[in-house]
Chains A and B, each alone.
Chain A
Amino acid sequence: MNMMRTVFCLLLAFSAAASAQETVSWNSPDYARQFKYIQERNLYTSASWAVLPPAEQARELEKYRGPAAARQEAVRRSFAEGMRLWGTAAARQYIAAGTDTVKPVFLWQGREDAQTLFRKLTVVRSAFAKAGARGIDAADAAALGPYLTAEAINALKAARSPRATGVRPTAAGATAAGSPAAGAGTVGGLERFAGTDHSNLNAGGLAKFYDGQVAAGNDPVALGGGRSPAGGRPAGAAQPVARLQPPVRADGVPPPVEVTAKTEAKSSGIMPDAYGITVYTRSSGQPAVFRSGTEAEGYLRGLSDGSVSRVVFYGHGSPGLQTVGSNYDVDAEKAAQLLRGKMAANGVVMFEGCNTAGVGTKTSINPLYGLSIVARRLMYFSLPYFQDRLEGRSADDARRMWEGEWNKDLAREASQGLRGAIVCGNRTFGLVPERLPGVAQLTGRMEAASPAYVMARKACYRNGEEVPVP
C-alpha cells in the first residue's frame, strides 16, 4: 500500500510540475485565434512574447479570447459580404480600399479565401479602369457576371469616361480611386486592417502571399483574355500564385533543390524544429527537400505529370489536416490540387503527422493503440465540444460538428482526389524519438525536413480503399 501511495504521489508531482512550467509558444495552434489578433494589433512580437512568464501569457491569451473571436466573426461576415454581387457603389468602395480588404481575410480565413476575394477585386478594378478608358465589350461584361450586379455591369457598359467609373487608369496600369471613400472608413462592415506591416505577420504567411503575388494592386490586369503588355495575367484566370521557380531542365523536370534548412537560423531551444516536405521524382535519385511549404508547392507545380514517385509531408498533424511548420497546412482538397496528375503509377503520398488517418475498424489488442484512440477522442471531440458549449454553441450543433471532425481520415479523403496514388497516414499519435530532449542535438537533426523514425500505426489507401502499407 505504501508503494502505491508513493507511485500516485510521484504521478501527481510529475503532472503538477509539468503543467506549472508550461509556456505557450508563439503562434501556438491551440491559441491561433488569439495570436492572429495579437499580431494584427501589433500587441506583441515573438521576442516580447517569449519573455513573458507563463502566468502572464495565460492572462493575455484569456484577455484576447473574446476580442479575437469577435474580430474573426467580423472578418467572416465581411468576407461573406465581399463575396456577394457588388453594386457600383460597393465596387468603388472595395476598389478604393484596395488590398486592405484582402489582408484580414488572408490572416483570419487563409490563402484560398483571400485569393478568391483578391481575384474578384482585381477583375472588377480592371473592368472599371477599362470602362473609363475605352469601354467594355460583351466578353468583359460576361466575365464580370459572377462579381457585379446586372445594374452595375450595365452602368459600366454605358460608361465611357473616367469620371463615370470613378477610377482612372495610370501610366503604369494602376488605378487611382476617385471615390470619396478612398482607403478610408469601413468596407464590407469591417474596420481597417490594423497590422502596420504585413511582413511582420507570420501567422498565415501573409508576407509570402503578397511578395509572391501582385496583391499590391499596381500591376496591370487586362480584361478579355489578353495578356497585358507589361506581363500581367488575364483577369479572372484561376492561375496559381506566381512564384520564383527553379530553372527547368530540357526534360521539363526542375533539378532537385537544396535543403532550405541549411540556410535557416538554427533552433536555439532544446526541442527540435523538425518539419518539411520531401519530394522523390522518377528521374532523380536525390529527393528535393523543402522546409517551406510554398517553395515545395512551386516546385511541385513545375514538375511534369506522372513524375513524382513519393511525397512525404512531415510535421504536426490532426484529424483531417497535416501542417508543415507554422505557416503551411495541407488538407485533402489541397493535396489533390497540388498533386493531381503529378503522381507516378503506384506513387506514394505520406502524411507523417499524428492522426492523419482515421482510427479504423479493425480490433486491436495493443493497449497503446487503445490509449491513442482515447486521447484522440478526448482532444478532438470532448475538449472542443465543451469549449464550444462554453462559447454558447448549442449542444446538438457542437456534437454534430465534432463527431464529424475527431475521426477525419485525411489519407482516405486525399486518396479519393488522387486516383491511382497510394496515400498513407497515421491512425495514431506518432511518438517521435527525435523529439525527446537532447536526441535531435545528438543526431544533428534539429531542423530535419524529413522524418527519421515515427512510432505510429500507419494506414494506406488507394482510391478510398485500404491497401497494404508499401
Chain B
Amino acid sequence: MTATDLSVLWEAVIMIALPFCVVAAGAFLRRRFARPAAGAEGAAVEPGSRKAARVAGQLLFWGGIFAIVFTFIVFLNFKGIL
C-alpha cells in the first residue's frame, strides 16, 4: 500500500464518516443540554443558551439521519432499485 493509497483511503473514510459525525455531534448536544426533569432544580429558569444548544443538537441529529437516509435513497435510485 502506497502513500497515495493511504491518502485516498483516508479521504474516503472522512467523506463516509461526515454525516455520522453530524449525527454524533447532535446526539452529544441533545444529551449535554437535555431538558431538566419537571420539578428538578432550575427547571423553571432554564437559560436560553441551553435551549438553543438543545435545538441545534436536534437539528444536527435529525438532519444527519435525514442526510444518511437521503444519500441511501439517491444511491438506490441511481442504481435503479428505487
* Residues of A participating in the B interface, judged by any CB pair closer than 8 Å: 1, 4, 7, 11, 14-15, 18, 21-22, 25, 271, 316, 354, 367-368, 371-372, 374-375, 377-378, 381-382, 385-386, 389, 395-396, 399, 429, 431-432, 435-437
Contacts and interface: CB of A to CB of B under 8 A. Distances in A.
A18 B15 contact: no
Nearest to A373: B15
Contacts of B78: 316, 354, 429
A435 B72 contact: no
Contacts of B56: none
Contacts, number: 67
Contacts of A4: 27
Contact of B8 (A371, A399, A429): A399
A436 B82 CA distance: 6
A432 B77 contact: yes
B46 interface: no
Interface of B: 2, 4-5, 8-9, 11-12, 15-16, 18-19, 27, 31, 63, 65, 67-82
Contacts of B12: 378, 382
Contacts of B18: 374
B79 to A, nearest CB: 7
- The winner among B31, B67, B75, B80 for most chain A CB atoms within 10 A is B80
B81 A399 contact: no
B2 A395 contact: yes
Contacts of A374: 15, 18, 71
B26 to A, nearest CB: 10
A436 B77 contact: yes
A21 B76 CA distance: 12
Contact of B72 (A1, A18, A436): A18
Contacts of B67: 367-368, 371
30 contacts: A1-B31, A4-B27, A14-B72, A18-B72, A22-B79, A22-B81, A25-B80, A271-B80, A368-B67, A368-B70, A371-B71, A371-B74, A372-B74, A374-B15, A374-B18, A375-B75, A377-B15, A382-B8, A382-B12, A385-B8, A386-B8, A386-B9, A389-B5, A396-B4, A399-B4, A399-B8, A429-B78, A431-B73, A432-B77, A436-B77
